Structure 1
Amino acid sequence: MKKSKSKLLFLCLLMLAFSLVACSSNEKTNTGKKAKELTVYSPHPLEFTEPLVKDFENETGIKVELISAGSGELLKRVESEKNNPLSDVLWGGSISTLDSNKELFEKFTSSNDDQVADEFKNKDGYITRFSVIPSVIMVNKNLIGDIKIEGYEDLLNKELKGKIANADPSKSSSSLEQLINQLFAMGNGDPEKGWDYVSKLIDNLDGKLLSGSSAVYKGVADGEYTVGLTFEEAALNYVRNGAPVDIIYPKEGTIAKADGMGIVKDAKNKENAQKFVDYVTSKDVQQKITSELNRRSILKDVSIDKTTGIKDLSEIKVIKDDEEWSNENKENMLNKYKDIFTSN
């Protein structure tokens, strides 16, 4: 009986040892797997993100799962997943959008921050600036006819009613930046005075508000709309590819603000997320986005190749918003915009 009990005890201890070894092995495997993974949420166009992600994968060996959707939708996902994050980086979105939700992100300052132009540095430690994106008006040359488009005021032309592509600013960061641009440009620096113009523009939209930024530039390029309110890179892509479109920098003034990115709080692959942020803000990548992908760099010493069609900012009437006001009043702006739109 004693031998039987001893034998049984030995077998139990042996099975327990095997179990512990298996668990240890699985943990190492999972840890190793995690060390080579990264999940990135991004509202940037796929034709912009995919080349950069592929280069990052080739250089680091880290496999990236790229989830593409509108900035508003992705931010809501980050918020809803905050107790169990399914993403590691939110790559893209206006500073106004990200700054008002910085509690969703980890504190991290890129190793490249000392090379960033002073106005685009990560001053609060949460949101890293990525690229500089002026708001523009995109015009379909085949549809515009004799209608003159030089700025925002021209969009109130009744011949354009229902022919203007504009996205919902609660779902699209570029549309939110357009709204901010309109408020400051048409209010001569006082955003509260710009609402009269915005109300008139909303009336000329004729009840049409698109669900995302891509619907704007695609809609204009495909001839569904005569003009659209979009961002520089998207319009430049079509110009360089020979589409019948023009880019107009509003004569009333263009705001050229940086977009941002943040590492999701409690991200499962935080170290890889840090590597990604450092990678896309490095000089080589920043030069590539300027020379090949129609974006302006946040770095001080990245040159603009004029053959790309990117104008020097000195050739454009550039105005600034009050970023603190824009960030603090984001929800108020969106609510007021919604009220005006639904009452029309």
Structure 2
Amino acid sequence: MKKSISKIIFLCLLLALSLAACSSDDKSSDGKKSNELTVYSPHPLEFTEPLIKDFENETGIKVELISAGSGELLKRVESEKNNPLSDVFWGGSISTLDSNKELFEKFTSANDDQVADEFKNKDGYITRFSVVPSVIMVNKNLIGDIKIEGYEDLLNKELKGKIANADPSKSSSSLEQLINQLFAMGNGDPEKGWDYVTKLIKNLDGKLLSGSSAVYKGVADGEYTVGLTFEEAALNYIKNGAPVEIIYPKEGVIAKADGMGIIKNASNKESAEKFVDYVTSKEVQQKLTSELNRRSILKDVSIDKTTGMKDLSEITIIKDDEEWSNAHKEDMLNEYKDIFTSN
């Protein structure tokens, strides 16, 4: 009888240990299921939702997406660094992310060997995702006879108060626009570009929007005549029949990659790595160009001209000094704020 009871107790203990092992396989170190993922992203919802749905269907991983401006989301990551509530930060300019790379884990995507050399993850923290040229978006119903070919044309007095531009401290696409203006209008010397930026700020007439979406929506809805935005946003409205057009500034366009990173001490690190590998895969990168109006970071994925995208060879492309831009981010934002508040 004693032997039977001992045998039953032993079998119960064995079953309990087996269940615990299975449970631990399905959970991360903090008990959160490993088939879950939380993503912070400043990308437009119409851009992120199709890709996330595909990722969920392919992997079985359930994604919680939190959307807001890049500045707001980075503040959340900073405030949560001792207890991260997200696993991936998806979006934002390299200038924005590089100055905060202490918030991210080192990780190199399995697809990095297919990435064009200029967009490779060289320091191991920020994975490049797509190539995003800065553009001017014009409402064709409002522009009338005003000629818009580049940045200089935005100083036209008839456009005073009619230019949509976001606060560069809250919008990474607006920060990239500022960098583009400084290098283009300074002929490669960003310090010489501040004269132009000062004049442009005066023509904003005290209007500075809180996020990138307010820029392209404002132009498409007819609240503003022109806006400083990024290529994909304008192409989406053109695709949907809005009365807008894209201008690639004749003074020069910077076409830099945006980025993404796995948040340091993320609860679902394995799922986060799968997500980064997924969105940098050739299948998804091809979808970016053919369906979602973005340019790929991969060497062998070409643009789809039927989307209205111009080949980069048809645009005056210039480069910024990324090391300078990253190192002087706070200086640029402070200078911009000082000029804006003094006008």
Q: TM-score range by the shorter chain?
A: over 0.9
SS at match of 1:129: strand
Shift of 1:95: 0.2
1:233 partner SS? helix
Contact map agreement 2:182 2:191 (CA 8 A) in 1: yes
Aligned to 1:332: 331
When normalised by structure 2's length, the TM-score is 0.93
Query: For the residues of structure 2 that align with 1:131 and 1:149, how far apart are their CA atoms?
Result: 27
Give the structure 1 partner of residue 4 of structure 2: none
Alpha-carbon separation, structure 1, partners of 2:25 and 2:100:
35
CA drift of 1:33 comes to: 5.5
Question: 2:124 aligns to what SS in structure 1?
Answer: coil
Aligned ranges 1:75-224 → 2 under 5 Å: 75-224=74-223
Provide the rounded CA distance (Å) in 2 between the counterparts of 1:102 and 1:159: 42
The whole-number CA distance in structure 2 between the counterparts of 1:148 and 1:259 is 30
**1:98 to partner: Cα distance:** 0.3
CA RMSD of aligned residues (A): 2.0
Q: Flag the structure with larger Rg.
A: 1
Q: Contact conserved, 2:32 with 2:267, CA < 8 A, in 1?
A: no
- The correspondence of residues 311-330 of structure 1 with structure 2, limited to 5 A, is 311-330=310-329
2:183 maps to a residue whose letter is F
Answer with 41-50 or 26-35: which moved more: 26-35
Q: CA deviation at 1:22?
A: 12
Cα drift, residue 285 of structure 1: 0.1
Cross-structure match for 2:44: 45
Q: For residues 118-143 of structure 1, what are the alpha-carbon distances to aligned partners after superposition, in whole Å with 9 as ceiling and x for unaligned?
A: 00000000000000000000000000
- Report the 3-state secondary structure (helix = DSSP H, G, I; strand = E; otherwise coil) of the residue aligned with 2:131: strand
User: In structure 2, what is the Cα distance between the partners aligned to 1:213 and 1:287?
Assistant: 25
CA distance in 1, matches of 2:205, 2:23: 59
Task: Tell me, yes or no, if the aligned pair for 2:26 and 2:34 is still in contact at 8 Å.
Answer: no
Paired residue secondary structure (1:254): coil
CA-to-partner distance for each residue in 1:145-182, whole Å, 9 max, x for gaps? 00000000000001000000000000000000000000
In the other structure, the counterpart of 2:5 is none
Alpha-carbon distance in 1 for matches of 2:23, 2:247: 57
Identity %: 88
* Matches of 1:22 and 1:132, distance apart in 2: 48
Separation of aligned partners in 2, 1:303 and 1:161: 38
The CA distance in 1 between the partners of 2:26 and 2:165, in whole Å, is: 48
TM-score (norm 1): 0.93
- Tell me, in whole angstroms, the C-alpha distance in 1 between the residues paired with 2:197 and 2:276: 36
How far apart in 1 are the matches of 2:258 and 2:32? 31
Between Structure 1 and Structure 2, how many residues are aligned? 331
Q: Which amino acid aligns with 1:241?
A: N
Partner Cα distance (1:161, 1:305) in 2: 36
In 2, Cα distance between equivalents of 1:232 and 1:135: 6
